[in-house]
Structure 1
């Protein structure tokens, strides 16, 4: 049975990565070969399927992902992210400090990838917590929730972007609906969940953070960083362009040259390119930074995402093998008479794979190979399938996920405390996301 072959493939992937410590990309390619042969694919089609999956995923993703990394790096290196965080925290005041952290982290999280945002924001959170004499975890939970939500739901982050391509969804629509879902998810898993966590693991809120785990950090003088308005506008620029294009296409019916021009500008690749050019000016040229230094930042950003791109490509190869091997059609036939919503099934598959594999991006891409035929059969909005899968891929981060260990070390928690905070908050985000997707399904 195809499902058993896929299950064996996933177990093999786990063994290769966790027991033998083999690189994730190499493991994905090996398992893709093994699963494709076990599914009975013709030998002369195996390599074509793997290459097609890898190339098809990276062909669409590399431009958006690469330009997104450059944008985030330019904003971070110029001190724009630092300015956004400090300004919002000071303006909101002590009583609403959690919401200030949430808003700052959300804006920064759109432009920066999860790990980069975490490393950049933690020193700021630690400093503010010390100044106000409050728990670092009291601010740390809302911060990581906002970063995690943008990572799971919003392009140009790798998971949502790759899913948008796999499900052939409109990226602007994914972005708009993703922001709608993100608001309740951040509030429930952030400030509200923090109160619950204080009751179940009170000792964790007395911990002193491990700032040394971050390594040497770049120090900024606030007066030397770009202004708050220009930093925020630069960070949000790709979102603004894609949102304008999507809203314009929904409001204005029929074809026109103006609609085509706005569609081109709001295309994710164009929007990211224009955003990088804006950042080159606002974060660099306007501040008299030499072009050589600006381009060094851009170059460094790509060096840091090279392996991530390969891993995403490997996930795309595995996804394509499942489609070409007939597994997706088999799953669709299995559930064709089922009353289950394709959205719930996509979320469930992604959640199971997330628990097994650890990587939310790999779990999401593998789910796309299984769930794409379900979407076609169930007449579901592709953007909602992206968000349902993204929500499932965030659930219950534990010991096989790098994010689990980063959170544990930075906030100096025990394993039990990390499970009761990080693992639980990721689960709250996932379930809240699913509920919101189901509600939106009645409207969209």
Structure 2
């Protein structure tokens, strides 16, 4: 019966969000209240259960999501992101333009959300297409695939960061482990997919009037050294702290400081402070202009944070209502790896709900009990859920429509291009997590 309740609640979420077009935050809260009532949680306690779930989720996630969005927006509004993209295109040349787009997208996509990075880089892709007369998807698809990989697989993006909080996993280790397979898998798919026959038969034109974002002149953009350095600061700090933690003993004198600086919120705060100066007063932009960029980023992230919080409320209702305990008891005798089961739950929720953020947060709440006593590293469970959340992007995914409109595709063409690559990324990502799990076992980490 508890599993039936979970299944019905997911179906209701699907109905509310796709058929009735209800906002994800409201839909999740309504379903959470419904599940609480069905599970017999006392009426007087339901509000507290919801608040506890929202508070626990937002408290661990808001700093990383908010600061990451601000860093990305400051870089975009100053021209730093465009400087990185243009430099790599010039370096690699027209023949290797796909590789240039992949490298650019992965560097920018580490700290930026898919939509933000997409809008910043896509004008460069359009310019290349006009100059070289190459197919739009030949240039643009590698960029989109690389951005999708970084956004869906790795923190500090919202989904993986929220799941890391749920599993009490290290954000730094999650990023460190994930980079080992996210980069090669994302790059391989990005370079292979445009060469597939069913993709090459598509020849869309650049949409007219769609791109309105400012294109900076060379003398308006910050230097390459500053632009690239700021983009890489959070990666170096977060991943570096994780490596240092593994390399030294617990009584190492510098470990507390390194751990502090490498914590995701602190690393992003330091990056933001550097970005505010480097792309503000240092290049002639006022602090007021930089502040406006930060405010705009915060406004854009408000709904994402609300959805994450509502997902935390739904998760807490499942836990308090005993559904999570039931799932744990029911799956104890299964011969299925917790990693595979976590991935599968995320895939199912992704197909049903469309939103990768909702899928990962909800899936994490469902499979959280499987982690206890399983011996699986919590960071790998985070990566398994995150990889599953990218699968089967289709018409209930906002990113699907953005992809379709910018590349001027029909719905069928977008399904063939985006739905297929997101699904293959999810499957290969699961393989990467399983391999990493085996490697850590052999190394006895």
TM bucket (normalised to shorter chain) is over 0.9
Query: What is the CA-CA distance between 1:211 and the residue it aligns to?
Result: 4.6
Gaps of 5+ in 1: none
Task: Map 1:8-407 to 2 at 5 A.
Answer: 8-196=8-196, 199-204=197-202, 206-214=203-211, 216-407=212-403
Distance 2:96 2:258 in 1: 38
Tell me how far 1:125 sits from its aligned partner: 0.4
Distance 1:398 1:148 in 2: 14
Name the CA distance, whole Å, in 1 between partners of 2:391 and 2:9: 21
1:403 Cα shift?
Answer: 1.0
Q: String of CA shifts for 1:214-265, please: whole Å, max 9, x gaps.
A: 4x21120022211112111101111111112111110011223311011111
Q: For residue 429 of structure 1, report the CA deviation from its aligned partner.
A: 0.8
SS in 2 for 1:377: coil
TM value normalised by structure 2: 0.97
Structure 1 residue 288 displacement after superposition: 2.0
Question: Matched residues in 2 for 1:5 and 1:393: separation?
Answer: 22
Q: Secondary structure of 1:126's partner? A: helix
How much has 1:201 moved relative to structure 2? 4.0
Aligned with 2:417: secondary structure?
helix
Deviation at 1:102, TM superposition (A): 0.3
The CA deviation string for residues 404-438 of structure 1, in whole angstroms up to 9 with x for no partner, is: 11111111112221111100000111011000000
1: CA distance between counterparts of 2:17 and 2:390? Answer: 19
Aligned-residue Cα RMSD (Å) equals: 1.2
Match of 1:435 among 425, 431, 444: 431
Residues 259-309 of structure 1 show CA distances to partners (whole Å, capped at 9, x for unaligned) of 101111111111111010010111112112111111111111111111111
- 2:68 and 2:100 map into 1 onto residues whose CA distance is 24
Task: Output the TM-score relative to the length of structure 1.
Answer: 0.97
Residue pair 1:211, 1:410 contacting (<8 A) in 2 also:
no
Unaligned runs of 5+ in 2: 441-445
Cα distance in 1 for partners of 2:188, 2:4 equals: 37
Q: Which moved more, 1:323-332 or 1:54-63?
A: 323-332
Q: 2-side partners of 1:289 and 1:407: how far apart?
A: 32
Is residue 360–residue 385 contact of structure 2 (8 Å, CA) maintained in 1? yes
Contact 1:328 1:373 in 2 (8 A): yes
Structure 1 segments of 4+ aligned residues over 6 angstroms from their partners: none
Q: Is the 8 A contact 1:123 1:211 kept in 2?
A: no
